[in-house]
Amino acid sequence: MPGLRGRFFVSLFLGGTIVVAIGTLAQSQPAVTLKGKTVNVSIGFGAGGGYDTYGRLLAAHYAKFLPGNPVVVPRNMPGAGGLKLLNYLASVAPKDGTEVGVFASSTAMEPLMGNAQAKFDPMKFSWIGSMDQDVSYCGLWQLPGAPKSFQELMTREATFGDSGPGATSHQHPLILKNVLGAKIRAISGYQGSRSVHLAMERGEVTGACGMVSSAIRSQWLDDVKSGNLKLIIQMGPKKSSEFGDVPSVYDFVKNDEDRAVLDVHFKQILLARPMAAPPGLSPEMLTAMRVAFNATMTDPDFLAQAKKFNVSIDPASGEQVQALISQLMNYPPAIITKARKAIER
């Protein structure tokens, strides 16, 4: 938002209510510094995808707002849908402000889903903010004989490619299969959305999920417009008409319990591009990094480059990310049990 250099605006969907906060950024940084240091912005997916685009965009502008103006370097750390990165942040990453991660919110919720490979507590991360709030889609590549709608997917099987257990590209097809009854077979092991896209073009897989609207605009818009990629369903508590009349996953819910299960998985989509530092960051450093993040999100140069890359910036503050994570972690045990079963193979 050009012109709001000293202010930040954030909105977040919490418990059915849109929460809006407008605040004034601190005029001076806390008494910490990163002068002379290198800050790594580690990205939990491979090069060329949506998370990579956002991580590199942030890295290009974040340094000028961090105390001491350190060097900020983006780097990719793909693996298991982002679990490799989050396990690294929680265990061996330095806790001095020199390491931050950009990853999927679904990956951060893996401990709640009972994944023994997720060796972290999402409540303990030093949440810095989220660069965007979004809607997520599933789509089918229009190969000869491929299903053309979600309704057809209820009776005809299709293969979906994904990045691994922590990624929305992996979890969302399983939710459609296990909660709504869609006939989907998941194929894991791709490095990110770009490699899944190439797999669709080669005919290795028929479909993909976890395509947020900002990534569609920046990577797949030509395919959507040409009809090669047909968006068949959208996820999230907000419904969008940006790409036409795409049905919502909630249109197919049969009872209140299943709706609550979908809430556990899909409310987190509003944290489309979250960012966190390791647990144990000092309060002063966390404040400095949050102030720098908020300032970056309103920086005219940052916003101009985001527009050039055709990516959406609709930020949420670190405090709001923390609040939503807490809400998701405190659903009733019976609903959590069903939510876990929803992403079982």
| Residue 244: count of CB within 10 angstroms of its CB | 8
Whether 253 and 161 share a structural domain: yes
Whether 248 and 299 share a structural domain: no
With respect to residue 1, please indicate whether it lies within any of the assigned structural domains.
Answer: no
Mind listing the pLDDT tens digit of every residue in the chain (345 residues)?
333 333 333 334 333 433 434 344 444 445 899 999 999 999 999 998 889 999 999 999 999 999 999 999 999 999 998 999 999 999 999 999 999 999 999 999 999 999 999 999 999 999 999 999 888 999 999 988 889 999 999 999 999 999 888 888 999 999 999 999 999 999 998 988 889 999 999 999 999 999 988 889 888 999 999 999 999 999 987 889 999 999 999 999 999 999 999 999 998 887 889 999 999 999 999 999 999 999 999 999 999 999 999 889 999 999 999 999 999 999 999 999 999 999 987
Helix, strand, or coil (residue 233):
strand
With respect to residue 261, please indicate whether it lies within any of the assigned structural domains.
Answer: yes
Strand 274-277 relative to strand 99-102: parallel, antiparallel, unpaired? antiparallel
pLDDT of residue 30: 54
With respect to residue 166, please indicate whether it lies within any of the assigned structural domains.
Answer: yes
Whether 165 and 149 share a structural domain: yes
Whether 287 and 332 share a structural domain: yes
Whether 142 and 261 share a structural domain: yes
Q: Report how far residue 325's alpha carbon sits from residue 332's, in angstroms, rounded to the nearest whole number.
A: 14
Residues 171-201, buried b or exposed e (16+ Cβ, 10 A)? bbbbbbbbbbebebebbbebbbbbbbbebbe
Q: How far is CA 231 from CA 72, 140, 151, in A?
A: 36, 7, 12
Whether 274 and 332 share a structural domain: yes
Q: What are phi and psi of 269, to 5 degrees?
A: -60, -25
**Angle, vertex CA 109, rays to CA 82 and CA 182, nearest 5:** 85
Contact between 212 and 135 (Cβ < 8 Å)? yes
pLDDT of residue 282: 97
With respect to residue 140, please indicate whether it lies within any of the assigned structural domains.
Answer: yes
With respect to residue 206, please indicate whether it lies within any of the assigned structural domains.
Answer: yes
With respect to residue 171, please indicate whether it lies within any of the assigned structural domains.
Answer: yes
Which range of residues forms the domain containing residue 239?
136-267
Whether 212 and 237 share a structural domain: yes
Whether 128 and 80 share a structural domain: yes
Question: Would you list the DSSP string of 73-134?
Answer: EEEE--SGGGHHHHHHHHHTS-SSSSEEEE--HHHHTTTTTT-TT--S-GGGSEEEEES---
Provide the CATH number for the domain around residue 184: 3.40.190.10
Whether 109 and 224 share a structural domain: no
Q: Which amino acid is at 159?
A: T
Q: What is the pTM of this model?
A: 0.76
Whether 13 and 107 share a structural domain: yes
Domain boundary at 247, 267, 287, which? 267
Q: How far is CA 57 from CA 53, 102, 134, 270, in A?
A: 6, 11, 17, 19
With respect to residue 106, please indicate whether it lies within any of the assigned structural domains.
Answer: yes
Q: Report how far residue 18's alpha carbon sits from residue 239's, in angstroms, rounded to the nearest whole number.
A: 14
Whether 109 and 75 share a structural domain: yes
Domain boundary at 243, 267, 291, which? 267
Residues 55-110 pLDDT 10s: 999 999 999 999 999 999 999 999 998 999 999 999 999 999 999 999 999 999 99
Q: Which amino acid is at 277?
A: A
Domain boundary at 267, 282, 302, which? 267
Provide the CATH number for the domain around residue 82: 3.40.190.150
Residues 6+ apart with CB under 8 A from 41: 55, 56, 58, 59, 62, 72, 73, 74, 75, 100, 101, 102
Q: How far is CA 195 from CA 42, 199, 228, 242, in A?
A: 19, 6, 17, 25
Whether 28 and 74 share a structural domain: yes
Residue matched to tokens 């049969």? 254
- 127: region left, alpha or beta (phi > 0 left; psi from -120 to 50 alpha): beta
Q: Report how far residue 258's alpha carbon sits from residue 210's, in angstroms, rounded to the nearest whole number.
A: 20
Question: Would you list the DSSP string of 23-89?
Answer: EE--SS--S---TT-EEEEEESS-TTSHHHHHHHHHHHHHGGGSTT--EEEEEE--SGGGHHHHHHH
Helix, strand, or coil (residue 207):
strand
With respect to residue 2, please indicate whether it lies within any of the assigned structural domains.
Answer: no
What's the structural domain count of the chain? 2
Q: Report how far residue 258's alpha carbon sits from residue 334's, in angstroms, rounded to the nearest whole number.
A: 11
The token pair at 106 is 């679904």
